Amino acid sequence: MQALDPHTKTGLSNRLARIEGQVRGLRRLIEADADCEKVAQQMAAARKALDKTFHEMLACMIEREVQSTRHAESTDANLKQIRALLSKYG
């Protein structure tokens, strides 16, 4: 696998920074004895944001595999690699 291109890297880094802020906010809510439902709601939002970031990363990995297909013979190998990625991370 190749390293991330600068645009994708910046986008993922920005998303993770926002998630990091959400998690810090969660700690503050818990330390302030906030209502359980409010904490759970914020946890769900942070989890969803992390899931979206994960899906972006997985899409990047799949795109790289598809782009690396140059010959018909390598298509099967690339499809196997994509299946392996989905099985492992999906």
CATH classification of the domain holding 37: 1.20.58.1000
Q: What is the DSSP letter of 33?
A: T
- Whether 82 maps to a domain, the answer reads yes
Give me the domain span that covers residue 24.
Answer: 6-89
What pLDDT, on a 0 to 100 scale, did the predictor assign at position 28? 98
Domains of the chain: total: 1
How many C-beta neighbours within 10 Å does residue 79 have?
Answer: 13
What span, in angstroms and rounded, lies between the C-alpha atoms of 2 and 27? 35
- Whether 27 maps to a domain, the answer reads yes
- Whether 19 maps to a domain, the answer reads yes
pLDDT in tens, the chain (90 residues): 568 889 989 999 999 999 999 999 999 999 999 999 999 999 999 999 999 999 998 888 888 877 776 655 667 777 787 788 788 876
Q: What is the DSSP letter of 3?
A: P
pTM exceeding 0.85: no
Which ranges of the chain would DSSP assign to H, the alpha helix?
6-31, 36-67, 72-89
Cα–Cα distances (Å) from 80 to 7, 51, 58, 88, in that order, read 27, 24, 15, 12
